[in-house]
Chain A
């Protein structure tokens, strides 16, 4: 465990471990209560592997009633609870606490209903994001939000983090594609927010719960809307001699009224690294490379690709290739999606940041990152969801060198602060978790944070559900860890990221 400060450990809970295990063993099947260190080890971290902590006990409920009874028990006995889905989160949202019951939702793994007439799927929360699309694709439908870890991440975790993806500019993030959830509150109350009907009466609790990072309730059922797959998808691979040219091209494409399904930019360092790694055929001499993708009907896509081509040429594009087949299109993306492992080849360790900026500030922010890179003497490669302004700088360092790690953390914090300074946000899609917790005061003042904490207290008066996440503990803008990868080994090295 690093020096990360977490809520004070309650020794009386630690000393009651055996009683808690046997009590919960009466609420659920005792086989689903894990307490031996060997059984707990797999749950000690999530996708943010720099931080590890064994929980007190792991419980694996099978029904919503069990979830409710466990939460009620924990609430009555003042035991902290940390919910966990697939454990792929990149901000440490499901990092256990020493004195917590880790509620692993893995047994909620069934799709409950596919309703084509209402164009929705009702599912348990630990079904993976991609499994939803797989379940409906034979009828030509899909679930739009596509975080790059979609092969492994759970839909419940997507709701908790309000996950985005490459296509969120056109199709929105999780919150815009949800119709309803079933939630259990810390006091054991089971309730449903939303359903198959659009919007819902009264306060929008569905919206409040989405992205609340497991602090307000445990999600036990999810209803998502599904969309008809577009008839055709095409992508263009465009090289630019400068970052400014690429940035201007993004702004003009948007201003022209084209909303691409996805629009990605990589800088020269990352273009070269990913091309070496995946042989994607990228223009490695370009200072910036863009992948822009359009979907829709054939005429529509042709019209937009033509327009994008004209705009790119006007902005001095040095190369331009339009996908001629779906295979070629996927090849364009292959390099981009391999950004993590490609960086793993370049340096022993790297950290992935997740800032959000106004699209027009791209060149300015990248210039600042280059300046900081020199200042801290650490190399950096940049990937950018240009369509929606979500920047992912990958800072390379050597974790065996303590000074290097500290420099990397300072560098990362400086980048995020700069994102906020130019009108952006601390996190676009990875969540705050423990990772950016102490940076919250860069984005919010005390009153803003206090209002959010009041909501937390209203629903969880004893602050037992996932404490120590999202909101600052230190009350200073300390710089904490980032997505930390050692020797190219993430918890799930084979999962594509962002």
Chain B
């Protein structure tokens, strides 16, 4: 629908924080800021606002009041919501229909504020951080069916729709996923939803060694038992898990199997045989404990009270061991998710020398890093994201095509973008 060009709202442009509750207000705010070249910080539920570079914005566009489910069609496997809708509200609605957001969005609340805050759907799309099921079902971007948003000129734009198969025009859903609010203010989001599996179980293998763990994970992911999660917690973190059926403390590899009841049992049994595990080497978590275990993983709860810096490193599984070996110093704690491809690593001390080392190592091993949590003193000068000069140049052009005056989150990802 075209926005009305001359509508009246009661917006006071002298305020520094706008909390619009209609799209018309959002359009008016953006148009005004575009006209006057006023930089805007786009914010949702403050769960991931600390991720990204420091930047100066005169005004804040707070979307927490722009919320609500617009349309939910379980049989069509989609939900359409306003961008400020809390993930918790969406998950609750889906649960009633035995459905879920299969990409398991991380809850960064524990990390930043010590308590749950899974944020808003707009923020989850803007950051594109997917949980443990990533290697099986894809990332957030793979579940975004369509959106409506307001570009940097205040124009309402849309792409995609609510159907899964749609190749009409450029796939702008992808370019907006993970753009950290630097291209467009998302207003409406249509997300693919999927059935919750009938049940799930987790095979927990007792082992403190990362090399062995990566072997287990690699083998599992290449087997026809079709796992939906694969993690490794070293000794330090492994002992934090206290669950009834967990028969040991210390380092552990966890592999999740989901599906119909008898199929899950069959696959767990087969997987333990394929991995040549003997009786006292493993335990199996039932569905209730499985939920707890993977929620803790999704929520990064092992870092809950940590004061350390946290870096998210993604590499091909073949490189994980080398990267850990090169980065691992005595004061480091880490765990591995995504079946071996994602390393969450905590650093007590971080400086530009260490960071450029990390950059070099991840790059040489065909991966990348994102600084998730970082001490304030260092944040101002640190590279939060990695990028090469060619991609920077292309990114600059794309930024300009959506937001020609650089008013949305300027500098949040890279200087000049």
Contacts of B370 in A (CB 8 A): 201
CA–CA, A230 to B267, complex, Å? 12
CA–CA, A205 to B170, complex, Å? 11
Contacts of B164 in A (CB 8 A): 168-169, 388-389
Given A202-B395, A429-B167, A230 contacting B224 (CB threshold 8 A) = yes
Contacts of B65 in A (CB 8 A): none
Which range holds the interface residue count of chain A?
Answer: 35 or more
Interface residues of B (CB under 8 A from A): 2, 73-77, 97-98, 128, 130, 134-135, 138-139, 141-142, 151, 155-159, 161-175, 177-179, 183, 194-198, 218, 221-226, 259-260, 262-263, 266-267, 270, 314-318, 338, 341-342, 366-370, 385-387, 390-391, 394-395, 397-398, 400-402, 413-414
Q: How far is the CB of B150 from chain A (nearest CB, A)?
A: 10
- State whether B171 touches A447 (Cβ < 8 A): no
- State whether A358 touches B259 (Cβ < 8 A): no
Contacts of A189 in B (CB 8 A): 390, 394
9 CB-based A-B contacts, threshold 8 Å: A172-B142, A198-B135, A198-B342, A202-B178, A254-B195, A300-B260, A440-B168, A450-B155, A451-B151
CA–CA, A432 to B170, complex, Å? 10
Most A-side CB within 10 Å, residue of B173, B226, B267, B386 = B226
CA–CA, A132 to B46, complex, Å? 44
Q: How far is the CB of B59 from chain A (nearest CB, A)?
A: 23
Contacts of B73 in A (CB 8 A): 358, 360
Q: How far is the CB of A326 from chain B (nearest CB, A)?
A: 16
Scan A151-194; emit 1 where CB is below 8 A from any B CB, else 0.
Answer: 00000000001101000110011011000000001000101010
A459 contacts the other chain (Cβ, under 8 Å)? yes
Scan A191-220; emit 1 where CB is below 8 A from any B CB, else 0.
Answer: 101011111111111111011100010000
A423 to chain B: closest residue by CB: B162
Given A199-B128, A360-B73, A162 contacting B167 (CB threshold 8 A) = yes
A426 to chain B: closest residue by CB: B168
Given A119-B222, A172-B142, A191-B394, A201 contacting B368 (CB threshold 8 A) = yes
CA–CA, A426 to B135, complex, Å? 30
Most A-side CB within 10 Å, residue of B156, B222, B395 = B222
Known A118-B317, A119-B221, A358-B163; 8 more pairs at CB < 8 Å: A198-B341, A201-B386, A203-B178, A204-B128, A231-B224, A389-B163, A425-B166, A432-B168
CA–CA, A212 to B77, complex, Å? 26
- State whether B161 touches A197 (Cβ < 8 A): no
A359 contacts the other chain (Cβ, under 8 Å)? yes
- State whether B169 touches A299 (Cβ < 8 A): no
Q: How far is the CB of A226 from chain B (nearest CB, A)?
A: 10
A229 contacts the other chain (Cβ, under 8 Å)? yes
Given A119-B222, A357-B163, A257 contacting B198 (CB threshold 8 A) = yes
CA–CA, A480 to B279, complex, Å? 67
Most B-side CB within 10 Å, residue of A185, A254, A298, A449 = A254
Contacts of A168 in B (CB 8 A): 164-165
A168 to chain B: closest residue by CB: B165
Partner among B163, B341, B366, B385 whose Cβ is within 8 Å of the Cβ of A201: B385
A428 contacts the other chain (Cβ, under 8 Å)? yes
A91 to chain B: closest residue by CB: B167
CA–CA, A147 to B151, complex, Å? 35
CA–CA, A200 to B366, complex, Å? 10
A403 contacts the other chain (Cβ, under 8 Å)? no
Contacts of B178 in A (CB 8 A): 199, 202-204
Q: How far is the CB of A86 from chain B (nearest CB, A)?
A: 18
- State whether A203 touches B77 (Cβ < 8 A): no
Q: How far is the CB of B266 from chain A (nearest CB, A)?
A: 5
Scan A443-486; emit 1 where CB is below 8 A from any B CB, else 0.
Answer: 11101111110110111000000000011000000000000000
B196 to chain A: closest residue by CB: A257
- State whether A201 touches B165 (Cβ < 8 A): no
Contacts of B342 in A (CB 8 A): 198
CA–CA, A169 to B270, complex, Å? 27
- State whether A197 touches B318 (Cβ < 8 A): no
Q: Which of A364-388 contact B (CB under 8 A)?
A: 385, 388
Given A196-B366, A202-B413, A303-B262, A428 contacting B174 (CB threshold 8 A) = no
Q: How far is the CB of A151 from chain B (nearest CB, A)?
A: 21
Q: Please list the 4 inter-chain residue pairs (A to B) with the smallest Cβ-Cβ separation, ordered nearest first.
A: A207-B174, A257-B195, A300-B263, A428-B165
Partner among B173, B175, B314 whose Cβ is within 8 Å of the Cβ of A197: B314
CA–CA, A458 to B368, complex, Å? 26
A390 contacts the other chain (Cβ, under 8 Å)? yes
A385 to chain B: closest residue by CB: B165
CA–CA, A161 to B167, complex, Å? 7
CA–CA, A432 to B166, complex, Å? 10
CA–CA, A319 to B77, complex, Å? 28
Partner among B141, B167, B317 whose Cβ is within 8 Å of the Cβ of A204: B141
- State whether A117 touches B314 (Cβ < 8 A): no
A123 contacts the other chain (Cβ, under 8 Å)? no
- State whether A443 touches B168 (Cβ < 8 A): yes
- State whether A425 touches B221 (Cβ < 8 A): no
- State whether A297 touches B263 (Cβ < 8 A): yes
- State whether B77 touches A427 (Cβ < 8 A): no
Contacts of A229 in B (CB 8 A): 224
